Structure 1
Amino acid sequence: MQKNILLMSHSKQITNGLKEMIDQMNQSAEVSVHSLGGTSDGELGSDPMPIIEVVNDAPEDAIFLVFADLGSAVMSSDLAKDMLEEEQQKRYHLVDAPLVEGAFAAAITASITDDVNQMITEAKNSGKKGWD
């Protein structure tokens, strides 16, 4: 099963750096990380269309875990879900977790399991540092 981690941010530099970090730590061929930050003209902002393209180009059984940083990146991710076919929406998960820690934890977990709920749980728990 192909597992896709979609990184949404206002900044392409942020998502490119995060993708590079995850790719270096995760060598699973079943996990693909997609840097979808910024706008199509290289400016700060967000755009739902790159998400739609990734989903449409993926195998029919692929799953998508979407991580976003701020306001309009979250809104673009949510809008993209609304623009997908119903069957695609079932495999598209907006994960309410920190962008860096959540995406990293989800990708590493996805490399060892096909359990989407476990991937999401690990992502959501990733921001807890345990500092007192």
Structure 2
Amino acid sequence: MATVGDVARLVSELPDVTEGERHGHQTWSVAGKAFAWVRPFSKADLRRFGDESPPDGPILAIRVDDLGEKEAVLATNPDAFFTIPHFDGYAAVLVQLRKVSRTALREALTDGWLAVAPAKLRGRLTGGPGDEDIAGV
């Protein structure tokens, strides 16, 4: 089980992350591009669940590299990672924080950061040429 506080701590370990607000909810960005944000369900989202209960607790959206990676993430851990019709065709997954392990959350946040970070910053995280290696974040 993870919390929004855990998210804030984990993203603080990534290079050049800024925390802000988007639509009244916490958002984490790198180089002006959001890679993770608190994403409560809208009224329209809730209507689409119909008689099915929506996932409870805090929900986080995290960017992924592309739609192929999205499908892989969803298949790997379907108890914690999911999507909704609003995210169809968009390279991001939703995470039920109450069901995700901190390890899986750390990996997803790092991958989300890598999906939107400029190449020079990605090199700092992955140990690219001439950049400080901080891999293992």
TM-score (norm 2): 0.35
Instruction: Give the structure with the higher percent strand.
Output: 2
TM-score (norm 1): 0.36
Q: Which has the larger radius of gyration?
A: 2
